[in-house]
Copies of this chain bind each other. A is one copy, B any other.
Amino acid sequence: MEKISRTRVVDVLKMDCFGKIVNVKGWVRTRRGSKQVNFIALNDGSTINNIQIVIDINKFGEEFLKPITTGACISVNGELVESMGQGQAAELHANEIEILGTADPNTYPLQKKGHSMEFLREIAHLRPRTNTFGAVFRIRHNMAIAIHKFFHERGFFYFHTPIITASDCEGAGQMFQVTTMNLYDLKKNEDGSINYDNDFFGKQASLTVSGQLEGELAAMSMGSIYTFGPTFRAENSNTPRHLAEFWMIEPEVAFNEIEENMQLAEDFIKYCVKWALDNCMEDIQFLNNMFDKELVSRLEFVLEHEFVRLPYTDGIRILEEAVANGHKFEFPIYWGADLASEHERYLVEDHFKRPVILTDYPKEIKSFYMKQNDDGKTVRAMDVLFPKIGEIIGGSQREEDYDKLSKRAEEMGVPTKDIWWYLDTRRFGTAPHSGFGLGFERLLLFVTGMTNIRDVIPFPRTPRNAEF
Contacts and interface: CB of A to CB of B under 8 A. Distances in A.
A75 B108 CA distance: 65
Nearest to A167: B468
Contact of A160 (B138, B159, B247): B247
A183 B186 contact: yes
In this complex, the member of A101, A245, A464 whose beta carbon has the largest number of chain B beta carbons within 10 angstroms is A101
Interface in A166-183: 166-167, 174, 176-180, 183
B160 A463 contact: no
Nearest to A429: B73
Contact of A177 (B180, B221, B430, B463): B180
Contact of A458 (B6, B202, B214): B214
A388 to B, nearest CB: 23
A426 interface: yes
A234 B179 CA distance: 9
Interface string A419-437: 0011011111111100000
Given A45-B222, A101-B428, A221-B27, A203 B129 contact: no
Contact of A218 (B137, B159, B167, B186): B137
Contacts of A155: 8, 10, 46
A26 B431 CA distance: 9
B126 A221 contact: yes
A431 B100 contact: yes
A125 interface: yes
A381 to B, nearest CB: 22
Contact of A254 (B10, B25, B184, B205): B25
A400 interface: yes
Contacts of A234: 180, 200
Interface string A55-99: 000000000000000011101000000000000000000000000
A302 interface: no
A94 to B, nearest CB: 17
Contact of A429 (B27, B144, B468): B27
A103 interface: yes
A194 B201 contact: no
A157 interface: yes
Contact of A221 (B72, B104, B128, B427): B128
Contact of A430 (B45, B101, B458, B459): B101
A230 interface: yes
A165 interface: yes
A44 interface: yes
Interface of A: 6, 8, 10, 25-28, 44-46, 71-73, 75, 100-104, 107-108, 125-126, 128-129, 134, 137-138, 140-141, 144-145, 148, 152, 155, 157-167, 174, 176-180, 183-184, 186, 194, 200-203, 205, 207, 214, 217-218, 221-224, 229-230, 232, 234, 236, 244-245, 247, 254-255, 400, 421-422, 424-432, 457-459, 461, 463-468
7 contacts: A44-B254, A75-B255, A103-B427, A128-B218, A128-B221, A138-B222, A183-B183
